[in-house]
Structure 1
Amino acid sequence: MMPQRIRKLIGTVLLLALVVVWALGAMVIAQGRVTELHWAAQTVCYVLLGTLWVIPAGALIWWMERPDRPKA
């Protein structure tokens, strides 16, 4: 089992990578066909692109914050 300190280090690097990759991916999607949609559909797309990154980030933070197992 990996100690919490190492999980936090790895998780921090992965969170930074997630934010960068998600932002770049969202920009690519937003500049594609989304600009041709009706304004209401554009709003839905932008809201989803702006908030869905929270799901993988939350799972990663949950993994990082798990307590260490007690030593037997």
Structure 2
Amino acid sequence: MARGEVKASWRKPAGTLAILLLILVWVVLVASFSAQIGALPILVQLAIYVVLGVVWIAPLKPLLRWMETGNWRLPRN
């Protein structure tokens, strides 16, 4: 390999597909409860949808770290 040349990794396409799959599963899961959530008062619905709109991001940090480094956790110092 020449100096400065970057070797392609399979982790980035695999991670991208995993992110898309995570989003798809999360959308289907939240949509399956939409009737029950829709029966609640509007401010409760707002709070639930705000929380659900943020919670799906939590598994992304280790997944993105894995895509970049190949490790799920930060190295111990």
Q: Does 1:38 align with 2:34?
A: no
For these two proteins, the number of residue pairs brought into alignment is 65
Is the 8 Å Cα contact of residues 15 and 64 (structure 2) preserved in structure 1? yes
Identify the structure with bigger relative contact order (alpha carbons < 8 Å, sequence gap 6+).
1
TM-score, normalized by length of structure 2? 0.69
Kindly tell me: are residues 52 and 4 of structure 1, through their superposed partners in 2, closer, same or farther at Cα, counting changes over 3 Å?
farther
Structure 1 Cα separation of the partners of residues 64 and 54 of structure 2: 16
Deviation, 1:32, is 3.0
Query: 46, 49, 55: which is aligned to 2:58?
Result: 55
Which consecutive residues of structure 1, in runs of 5 or more, have no partner in the other structure?
none
Q: Select the structure of larger CA radius of gyration.
A: 2
RMSD of equivalent CA atoms: 2.3
Percent of aligned positions with the same letter in both sequences? 31
Q: Is the 8 A contact 2:11 2:70 kept in 1?
A: no
